[in-house]
Amino acid sequence: WSWGSFAGLGLLLHIILMVIMTLRVVSVQRNIGVAIAWIAVLYTLPVFGFIAYILVGEPMIGRRYRQRVDQASLLMNDIAARERMVFDQGQDLLPINYRGVSRIGTRWTGFGVYAGHRMQLLTSSRAFFNHLISDIDNAKRTILIEFYIIYPKGQVLEVLKSLAAAAKRGVECHILIDSVGSFSFFNSS
């Protein structure tokens, strides 16, 4: 064995490791920008990039988080079954060129197009909150709200008061929020 043989073997191992890591990054990372950034780090700083990716590159989903995700999924499936909602029954209502995007959204969120659905673009926070509060005040059976961030100030307090009133009149109310994005909500009164 000569130094050239070791260098050739090292180069071969490096190429194999980079291909494996590239495939791993592409298969694990959901965000394309994040995946491209990690691949760039891996190729520009191979040893540091490899160690950094192993330590912090992949989101670690704990057992408690997985249990909460499973609970939320069961809750949503239960509500859909009780309310006889089929979230992707209206694909035929869409123009053909929008169906692919709709299927992707349905696959990622579980919610799709259904008959009787109305969509409206709300361009101000005041319009959004007024519509949300109106919908809550007019709800008869079930309310399921999902947000990443709920900050317990301003108009959000009005929404929470409407939800409390709806619960008092017998409406089944659920709020699904992220524990990191809504940290201040969980620590508020």
Domain boundary among the residues 57, 78, 95 is at 57
CA distance 6 to 8: 5
Query: SS3 for 107?
Result: helix
Domain boundary among the residues 90, 115, 140 is at 115
CA distance 18 to 50: 9
Using pLDDT thresholds of 50, 70 and 90, give the confidence band for residue 150. Answer: confident
Statement to judge: residues 124 and 171 lie in one domain: yes
What's the whole-number mean pLDDT along residues 62-91?
Answer: 74
pTM over 0.75: no
* pLDDT at site 8: 84
Statement to judge: residues 143 and 183 lie in one domain: yes
Using pLDDT thresholds of 50, 70 and 90, give the confidence band for residue 87. Answer: low
What's the whole-number mean pLDDT along residues 115-127?
Answer: 81
Longest dimension (CA), the chain: 83
Query: SS3 for 136?
Result: helix
* pLDDT at site 122: 86
Statement to judge: residues 28 and 71 lie in one domain: no
Number of domains in the chain: 3
CA distance 83 to 79: 6
* pLDDT at site 110: 65
* pLDDT at site 31: 79
What's the whole-number mean pLDDT along residues 128-133?
Answer: 94
What's the whole-number mean pLDDT along residues 78-104?
Answer: 74
Q: Domain residues for 169? A: 120-189
What's the whole-number mean pLDDT along residues 126-131?
Answer: 93
Statement to judge: residues 189 and 124 lie in one domain: yes
Share of the chain above pLDDT 70, in %: 90
- Report the chain's mean pLDDT, rounded to a whole number: 83
| The two structure tokens encoding residue 96 | 């053909």
**What is the residue type of 130?**
N
CATH number of the domain at 183, please. 3.30.870.10
- Would the pLDDT of 13 be above 80? yes
Q: Give 166: exposed, middle or buried? Use CB within 10 Å, 0-12, 13-18, 19+.
A: buried
Statement to judge: residues 137 and 183 lie in one domain: yes
* pLDDT at site 32: 84
Using pLDDT thresholds of 50, 70 and 90, give the confidence band for residue 184. Answer: confident
